[in-house]
Structure 1
Amino acid sequence: MSGGGSVMLLLGAVVTLLVFLDHQVIANTEVMTNQWLVRLHDDLGSDAAKLVAKRNGFSYVSPVLGSHREFVFKHKLVPHARTRRSLPHTRLLKADPLVNAAIQQPGYERSKRGYKQIRGFPIKTDDTSVEAHNNNAKESNLPNDPLYAKQWYINNTGQAGGVPKLDLNVEAAWALGYTGKGVTTAIMDDGVDYMHPDLFNNFDADASYDFSSNDPFPYPRFTDDWFNSHGTRCAGEIAAARDNGICGVGVAYGSKVAGLRMLDQPYMTDLIEANSMGHKPDRVHIYSASWGPTDDGKTVDGPRNATMRAIVKGVNEGRGGLGSIYVWASGDGGPDDDCNCDGYAASMWTISINSATNDGQTAGYDESCSSTLASTFSNGKSGYQDAGVATTDLYGKCTTRHSGTSAAAPEAAGVFALALEANPLLTWRDMQHLTVLTSKRNHLYDPNGEHNWTINGAGIEFNHLFGYGVLDAGDMVDLAKDWKSVPDRWHCTAGTIKGKYEFSTNQSLILTIDTDACKGMENQVNYLEHVQSFITLKSTRRGHVTLYLLSPMNTTSLLLSKREKDDDATDGFTKWPFMTTHAWAENPRGVWRLFAIFDSDTPQDGMLFEWTLMLHGTQKSPYTGQKDIDMQRHSKLGVVKREHESGQNFRF
């Protein structure tokens, strides 16, 4: 496994994480679908599975993640959603001599980001055709696409009230000759209008599939409010064609996009998610997701078993072992939500992307959390015409009103496509390191003054809202082209504290774990990447609990912020994996401190039952081996490289 460390150690962590997530995800009202996971006794293959389905009155759908033993079945006479399990159908399958297990699949909600989560809410769209934008074309050596002048996230000249040069610095990457050629990004969403003239030539049909209808044609389902324009808008941000007189241009206009229609249904299942995230991992390089659990400020949810297996298999085996790259929108729940309660965005196997406005502020709908790695752009300033993201829309049209972190994640996917063209051998972890090292503070700031820019123990600047800053495509491709893959990754269980530890509005809780980071063992960690805190607690009001983690090098991560709408008093958190990227490249050895504090005007009580600290990183410095790189140009790399080579505060 290239750049991946010990496979057995990684799989061990995966099994542990699956147990944690299965404990945590609890549905208030169980909804059962007409899908079954059917596991045969042996690896008998799809022919045997089809035979089992036919003789028991089911429809064979597909294998699960290419398995020869696990398959998806459907039953046409069972409603797509019901509140009771169909026990007779399950018993029928279990009675078949070839079947080892049959599990009816529960359904759950997954929400698009960037859209109002109110049923029937009309979605604003432009009512003009692509031809109506031709009068905006400009004459220059830059793209002459009609909406390019309004694509401030690519070239911010101050349009729509923005700050000049606060953009993705994409033109610098184009100037170096990179357009994303040879890279395919899969849009996991409600479908892609692959007949759109701005997408048609950059659509990868062979990498596409419709998991909602089980056919190869992921075209969006028509609705009066254009609700299913979401995936098409995301696709245009990445791969809209250049200089064709239609709409704007994609960040990686030389790349391909695939459509994976899987989000357009009342209830999601684990098997649909898993097969989407594991679809053709040697053809798809990047998977872009602009959705997640409901952004209502009170949900705690994440990927189920099969989906987590798909993601882990992707980073281990995708792209010929280099690892699939999963880009995730951090969430649109606003300041009353926290993306560390979203098990997708907070996963160390995904790159979580937040958004900023065109004048450098955090958008009003942005969630913040310590797992966010970087930011791109969504809306411009309110009150300005064309302040949204300009991109393709359904039925051959264009829009300048795409928004939310839905718009931010595809922009990041486009930048990553440019980097992969510059260096096709980048691993999934290389991409995360490049993101940390090349993202910029630029003009990003918190208008409320609550989250300032901070320098961690390795000398890298970060922000709780924006991660390590806004992506810089020019610097990323420049650093990527000469990048040497980082050393193998290891994980170390730093310690576990179990008991009954009380805390309240009058008395905060401080727990400590003193670790040597597995020194002297095969899985020793000397330089951090991700840090996970698996926490079990309950309180009289979950949303008023805040959690802070202090590293041995005095970097503070806000693991959980106040969520005013979360009034849970029964479920709490059960071994939930809170994750931080803020200690990146630090030495993990020493005392870690966990603070549990109530942020409440009313009396509250809580009990923390367990805290397990998991450290992920490398034994060798990932940066000292980077030679032939201009350190003055890539100053952030130079800073952390000097820290590591000097040995100051890095006692091994």
Structure 2
Amino acid sequence: MEFLEDFAINNNSVIKQILSGKRTFFHLLVPAVFLFLLASTPAAGESAFVPNDPYYLYDAVTRSGFPGQWHLKNTAPSSFVFTDPSNSNTYTMTNANLSANLTGAWNLGYTGKGVIIGIVDDGVDGTNYDLSPNYRADLSRNFSDNATVAGASQGPQKLSDNHGTAVAGVAAARGGNALGGTGAAPYAQIAGLRINIGDETDDDPEVSAQNYRDAYYWKSGIKADGTRESAATIRVKNHSYGPSVPFLNEDPDGSLRLAVKRTALNNVIHVWSAGNDRNTGNEDATKQQIISTPYVITVAALGSDGKFANYSSYGANVFVTAPSSRSDLTGFGITTTDRTGANYGYNLYSTANPKGDDTDAFPDPSYTSTFGGTSSSAPLVSGIMALGVEANSNIDVRMAKHVLVRTSDVVDANDSSASSFGGWRTNGAGYRFNPNYGFGNINAGKFVEMLKQVAYVTAQTSYSTGTVAVNTAIPDNNTAGITRTFNLTAAELNQPLESVVVGYTFTHPKRGQLTGTITSPSGMASRLFNSTTLLAAAKQDNTSVTNFQWDFLTNAFWGEAGIGTWNLGLADLQAGDTGTWISYLVTLYMGKMVLNTGTKITQTNNIQARSFSLMSDTASFENPAGLTLDVEDDILMSGGDFTINGTVEEDPAAPASEFYLEGGTVGGTGTIGFSGGFFNNGGTVSPGNSIGTLTINGNYTQGANGTLRAEVASPISSDLLAVNGAASLNGTLRTVWVGGATPDVNTVFGNIITATGGVTGSFSTLLTNITPTRVFKPRYLTNSVYLIVERDYANTVLSSVLSPDQSSIGSMLNSVANTATGTTGDLNTVLTAVDDLTTYGGVA
């Protein structure tokens, strides 16, 4: 373990990295701007969640030297002149007026409520006044090989354990309480998942592979053996750490990557920092193992000047960028929660707190203004992912990525840096990609808006070339290098591309001299890994390797068809040493997202989907007879129309899935099959297209806000909900009479529900009028519900137009209206005349 102070280019700012062995927190500390603790006024015109927290907005009158939490909403001036208190030097901090547009999501009402974010880090101080309202002690724990630490209450264990508390605040500090600041998801809950990547002691040993595995699986719904036991409790996990040297094999048996994959497939979204290693041998993030898998979101950092942060790692595996600090005093820092008390945390430095930051002048010791790095950009994305879970609970890492591709904003459009590999390139699907930024700066408002439009993401498929032998010498100091081509057909690539993973195996005396590239049939090129030859000699990777294998991931081809000839290259960019390209293996991952934007979607072929959602009142999807919609995960409807005339069912290989109907209408004459059950919590189930049967294979549960709608044409012709399972009833029954003459009282009609597993409960509201006074009443049997015609002079619809006295008379008439007395003689004649009235006003 060592504590490093590594000075940036101008030697004025301090990059403080807490290292343990070969791992580092991706956190930068920048000198504080002078701040004052004064309340702010919410901006005019905002609605939904509007923070009233004093550190949130820029205030030119009372806090002219403080940019506010600009990364969330940027109202700061175009520049600040900052005087370094340690040496009186002045610097200009530049503001390009960028942010992550949290107000766009907050104005829609999304705050992360009900979502839990796991902070895998050095501990979270759950007593901080802006973290305690969101902190879940019951879901937090320490992961350590030391039994005493593992059994202790979660939280910082040492004076240097400051990082996780700051990370947690960026993601989910409680906002709107007129205290401190706010996080991106101010009402999300926080679970501290403490691992020791900081100072190693005898009592607090360095994190082990087992500690990592345990943290990844914790509350993910997946056991360590891969068995699924439940839905994930913690839906988002943030990882603001990583190796500080290139090609560190932290996962030789693949168990860490397997844990990430398994939990991601159970809808845990893992967000990872890209790293703070620009201008070092580890600057290319593809040289990190865990984040070169398709199951994580890798985040770079954007300075307030609108350009990549001067420390931010880059690479083909970077997916998105988010605002954070710069370390050279040309950009703002990040204000977030700190450990409680003056002698703890980054703020303040003292003899009692030598781990504090001597440049942090923030007057509130429970907050710091000098946080940053990709350690801060990652939890900003994690908080936005929590907003996404709230907006569409079917979101997983693949859905999140598909939406990020379409909603992230291009920044620094003229970037021509060497690390950009030619700047922003537009791929064959029309998406722009830059390894400094991925697909751009995250836009929270656009992100959650599009999530509401997602109908489904198809089940992921993949194709592999298999291991292809090359066994060819790599030309020395030759930028052209050597290339190999392979051709892919439509039979092999049956969906648009997502990530592409290229495994190289090579031998070379100085690994850092090599660079790899791949070019798709569209002409889109991606650098899979960069050489270190342009770095200072001391920073170059001069490691000698034999039969070295590494998987490099690129996102640059997202959405492309990929059909045709691909070119794969490997080149040596420095004279004096030669190596051999031994083999390669390319794996292409595929899938697509389908949006429902108001135009009816009619299924035209069998579909395998990861999940399925209809989220707006204008959404419409039809599953025709003879076609199958196969879903690996749940179906969630909160609006729109879903017509099922074919089959909609869970994937047989998937765990028990569920159909949640929160709003909208499900109808048709097809079959629905979900072993986890069909839950009608607030929508309408309407069997048939006119008169017909809708079949549910599995249990049917109708809640207090659910509705069953049944058309009735005659005693032998009515809609039927056929449940091959148990039916639990509540809520509303609505019937629609489509027959001819009004049926006689006590006429028995057929079943509207059958349930092989039995019927329990009953409808709490009946909207079953044939006429204003003649209605259908359900009769409940062990395995079915049928209808009978009755008079009802106090029915729900009629009562809405009756006076209290009239309602009392109606209730009195009901006591005899359906008896022998009421269905014969003079009383029947009178009641029949009332029944013949066709308007509710006429009855009243």
Superposition deviation, residue 196 in structure 1:
0.3
- Aligned residue for 2:297, secondary structure, equals strand
Whether the aligned pair in 2 keeps the contact of 1:157 and 1:164 (CA below 8 Å) is: no
Superposition deviation, residue 197 in structure 1:
0.5
Alpha-carbon separation, structure 1, partners of 2:129 and 2:72: 21
Whether the aligned pair in 1 keeps the contact of 2:454 and 2:593 (CA below 8 Å) is: no
Alpha-carbon separation, structure 2, partners of 1:376 and 1:477: 16
The equivalent residue for 2:461 is 490
Q: Is 2:27 the partner of 1:114?
A: yes
Superposition deviation, residue 540 in structure 1:
2.5
Which whole-Å deviations, capped at 9, do the CAs of 1:489-544 have from their partners, x for residues lacking one? 01111343213211133444333332335x547xx533100101110112221112
The equivalent residue for 1:512 is 484
Over the residues paired in the alignment, what is the CA RMSD in angstroms? 2.5
Whether the aligned pair in 2 keeps the contact of 1:588 and 1:615 (CA below 8 Å) is: no
Superposition deviation, residue 433 in structure 1:
0.7
Q: 1:138 to 1:391 in 2, by over 3 A?
A: same
Counterpart pick for 2:150 among 205, 214, 217: 214
Superposition deviation, residue 345 in structure 1:
2.1
The equivalent residue for 2:803 is none
The equivalent residue for 1:134 is 37
- Aligned residue for 1:414, secondary structure, equals helix
Bigger relative contact order, structure 1 or 2, given CA contacts below 8 A and separation 6+? 1
Equivalent positions of 1:197-208 (< 5 A) are 197-208=129-140
Q: Structure 2 length as normaliser, TM-score?
A: 0.56
The equivalent residue for 1:157 is 75
The equivalent residue for 1:175 is 107
Q: 1:256 to 1:222 in 2, by over 3 A?
A: same
Alpha-carbon separation, structure 2, partners of 1:201 and 1:133: 24
Alpha-carbon separation, structure 1, partners of 2:568 and 2:488: 17
- Aligned residue for 2:458, secondary structure, equals coil
The equivalent residue for 2:239 is 289
Equivalent positions of 1:403-422 (< 5 A) are 403-422=372-391
Alpha-carbon separation, structure 2, partners of 1:446 and 1:478: 29
Counterpart pick for 1:615 among 588, 601, 604: 588
The equivalent residue for 2:207 is 268
Q: Is 2:281 the partner of 1:334?
A: no
Whether the aligned pair in 1 keeps the contact of 2:297 and 2:397 (CA below 8 Å) is: no
- Aligned residue for 1:148, secondary structure, equals coil
The equivalent residue for 1:66 is none
- Aligned residue for 2:169, secondary structure, equals helix
Equivalent positions of 1:159-558 (< 5 A) are 159=77, 160=80, 161-212=93-144, 213-215=149-151, 217-223=153-159, 227-264=160-197, 266=200, 267-281=206-220, 282-294=232-244, 296=245, 298-304=246-252, 305-316=254-265, 318=266, 323-336=267-280, 337-380=283-326, 382-383=328-329, 387-395=332-340, 397-443=366-412, 446=415, 448=417, 451=420, 452-507=423-478, 508-517=480-489, 519-520=490-491, 524-558=493-527
Output the amino acid matched with 1:290. S
Alpha-carbon separation, structure 2, partners of 1:127 and 1:363: 18
Output the amino acid matched with 2:459. D
Give the total of aligned pairs.
496
Alpha-carbon separation, structure 1, partners of 2:69 and 2:588: 40
Alpha-carbon separation, structure 2, partners of 1:454 and 1:181: 37
Whether the aligned pair in 2 keeps the contact of 1:360 and 1:445 (CA below 8 Å) is: no
Whether the aligned pair in 2 keeps the contact of 1:162 and 1:380 (CA below 8 Å) is: no
The equivalent residue for 2:840 is none
Q: Structure 1: any 5+ residue segments left out of the alignment? A: 1-106, 116-122, 631-652
- Aligned residue for 1:173, secondary structure, equals helix
Whether the aligned pair in 2 keeps the contact of 1:158 and 1:164 (CA below 8 Å) is: no
Alpha-carbon separation, structure 2, partners of 1:184 and 1:232: 16
Which whole-Å deviations, capped at 9, do the CAs of 1:428-484 have from their partners, x for residues lacking one? 210111111111104465374652111001111111210000000000010001212
Superposition deviation, residue 232 in structure 1:
0.4
Alpha-carbon separation, structure 2, partners of 1:477 and 1:554: 32
Q: 1:307 to 1:183 in 2, by over 3 A?
A: same
Whether the aligned pair in 2 keeps the contact of 1:163 and 1:359 (CA below 8 Å) is: yes
Superposition deviation, residue 140 in structure 1:
3.9
Alpha-carbon separation, structure 1, partners of 2:243 and 2:236: 21
Name which of structure 1's ranges 403-412 and 259-268 shifts more when overlaid on structure 2.
259-268
Output the amino acid matched with 2:164. G
Alpha-carbon separation, structure 2, partners of 1:152 and 1:445: 23
- Aligned residue for 1:345, secondary structure, equals helix
- Aligned residue for 1:498, secondary structure, equals strand
- Counting strand residues as a fraction of each chain, which structure ranks higher? 2
Whether the aligned pair in 1 keeps the contact of 2:112 and 2:386 (CA below 8 Å) is: yes
Which whole-Å deviations, capped at 9, do the CAs of 1:79-98 have from their partners, x for residues lacking one? xxxxxxxxxxxxxxxxxxxx
The equivalent residue for 2:659 is none
Superposition deviation, residue 145 in structure 1:
1.1
Q: What is the percent sequence identity of the aligned residues?
A: 27
Q: Is 2:552 the partner of 1:578?
A: yes
Alpha-carbon separation, structure 2, partners of 1:285 and 1:273: 17
Whether the aligned pair in 1 keeps the contact of 2:25 and 2:197 (CA below 8 Å) is: no
Q: Structure 2: any 5+ residue segments left out of the alignment? A: 1-19, 45-49, 58-67, 81-92, 201-205, 221-231, 342-365, 601-844
The equivalent residue for 2:570 is 596
- Aligned residue for 1:597, secondary structure, equals strand
Alpha-carbon separation, structure 2, partners of 1:193 and 1:264: 16
Alpha-carbon separation, structure 2, partners of 1:572 and 1:137: 61
Q: 1:580 to 1:340 in 2, by over 3 A?
A: same
Whether the aligned pair in 1 keeps the contact of 2:475 and 2:482 (CA below 8 Å) is: no
Larger radius of gyration: 2
Q: Structure 1 length as normaliser, TM-score?
A: 0.72
Whether the aligned pair in 1 keeps the contact of 2:105 and 2:448 (CA below 8 Å) is: yes
Output the amino acid matched with 2:302. A
Q: 1:520 to 1:546 in 2, by over 3 A?
A: closer
Output the amino acid matched with 1:301. N
Output the amino acid matched with 1:144. N
Whether the aligned pair in 2 keeps the contact of 1:180 and 1:421 (CA below 8 Å) is: yes
Alpha-carbon separation, structure 1, partners of 2:414 and 2:27: 21
Output the amino acid matched with 2:301. S
Q: 1:124 to 1:162 in 2, by over 3 A?
A: closer
Output the amino acid matched with 1:437. R
- Counting helix residues as a fraction of each chain, which structure ranks higher? 1
Whether the aligned pair in 1 keeps the contact of 2:238 and 2:379 (CA below 8 Å) is: yes
